[in-house]
Structure 1
Amino acid sequence: MALPAPDALLAAACLHLGFQLTVTAVVYPALTEVSEADWARAHSAHGRRVTPVVALVYGLLAAACLWALAAGPHDPLLLLSTAGAGCAALATALVAGPAHGRLGREGRSPGLERRLRRADGVRLDGAFVCAAAALAYALTG
C-alpha cells in the first residue's frame, strides 16, 4: 500500500520538527559552552556532522511538500504547512548557513551567534507550523 501524499508530508514535517528541536535544545546550547580554545575545532566538527543530516531532512521535506502540492487539493492547511517549511528553509539558506560560514572563517562572534540563534528560532517556528498544519491536513483529508 502506497503512502498518501498528506501522510508523507506529515512524516517529513515531524522528522523536520524533531531535527529542529534537537538543534535548538541540544546542539546549539552545547556549542555555546565550548571554550574559545576549542571553538574552531568544535564548530568545524559540527558543520561536517550536521550538513548531511540537513541535506537529508530538508530534501525529504521538500519532496513531500512538492508531492502534496502536486497531488492537491490546495487546502489552506496544506499551504500553511508548506509555507512553514519554506520559512524554515529560507532561514537556513539565507541566514543560518551564511552565519555558520562566517563563524567558521572569522571565529566566534557574539553578533554572529545572536544572528544564528534568531534564525534558529525562525526555523523552529516554521517547523512547528509545518508539522501542526500537516497534522491537521492529514486528519481532515
Structure 2
Amino acid sequence: MNTWLLLVAGAHLGFQLTVDLVVYPALRDVGPEDWTRAHAAHSRRITPVVGLVYVPLVLVLGWAAVAEPDDVGTWVAVAGGLLAVGTTAAVAAPVHGRLSSAGEDRRAALLDRLTRADRVRTVGAVVCTVGALLVAL
C-alpha cells in the first residue's frame, strides 16, 4: 500500500503543478475571439486526465485509511487529498462551468478565482505527497 500511496500522490502532485504552472496560464493567454473554442477543448481534454488521477487517488487514500489508520502520515495524506478533491468539486468545477458561458467582462474574475482554487489544490497535493512520504519512511 505504501508504494501505491506514494505513486498516486506523486502523480497527483505532478498533475497539479502542470495545471497550475502551465495549463491555466496558457488558458489565460487565449484571446476573446478564441475563448469559447479553447475552453471547450481544454475541458474535453482535461476531464479524462482528472479521472485518471483522482479516481486512483481517492481509492488509494481510502485503502490507506483502512490499512494504516494509526500512521499520522496516512491522515496527512488523506487531509491533503481531500483538500484537493474538495476544492475541485466545490470551486474549480463550478467555475469552469461558469467560464464556458461567461462573457469577456466576467472572464478575468472567474480565471482569478480558478487560479486561487488551483493554488489550494496544489497545496493539497503537496500535503498529500508529504503524508505519503511519511507513510513510506
Q: Structures share a fold, TM > 0.5?
A: yes
* Equivalent residues of 1:12, 1:64 under 8 A apart: yes
Identity percentage of aligned residues: 51
- Partner residue, 1:36: 32
- Partner residue, 2:130: 132
| Equivalent-residue separation in structure 2 for 1:82 and 1:67 (angstroms) | 10
- List aligned pairs for 1:22-61, cutoff 5 A: 22-61=18-57
**Shift of the alpha carbon at 1:136?**
1.6
Match among 102, 106, 111 for residue 106 of structure 1: 102
| Equivalent-residue separation in structure 2 for 1:81 and 1:67 (angstroms) | 12
Q: Deviations over 1:80-102 (max 9, x none)?
A: 11100000001100000000000
| Equivalent-residue separation in structure 2 for 1:75 and 1:107 (angstroms) | 48
**Shift of the alpha carbon at 1:77?**
1.3
| Equivalent-residue separation in structure 2 for 1:106 and 1:112 (angstroms) | 8
- Partner residue, 2:117: 119
Scaled by the length of structure 2, the TM-score of the pair is 0.95
User: Helix, strand or coil for the counterpart of 2:34?
Assistant: helix
- RMSD of aligned Cα (Å): 1.0
* Equivalent residues of 1:39, 1:107 under 8 A apart: no
- Partner residue, 2:2: 6
* Runs ≥4 residues deviating over 4 A: none
Structure 2: stretches of 5+ with no match in the other structure:
none
Aligned pair count reads 135
Scaled by the length of structure 1, the TM-score of the pair is 0.92
Between 108-117 and 90-99, report the one with greater CA deviation: 108-117
* Equivalent residues of 1:16, 1:61 under 8 A apart: yes
| Equivalent-residue separation in structure 1 for 2:41 and 2:98 (angstroms) | 15
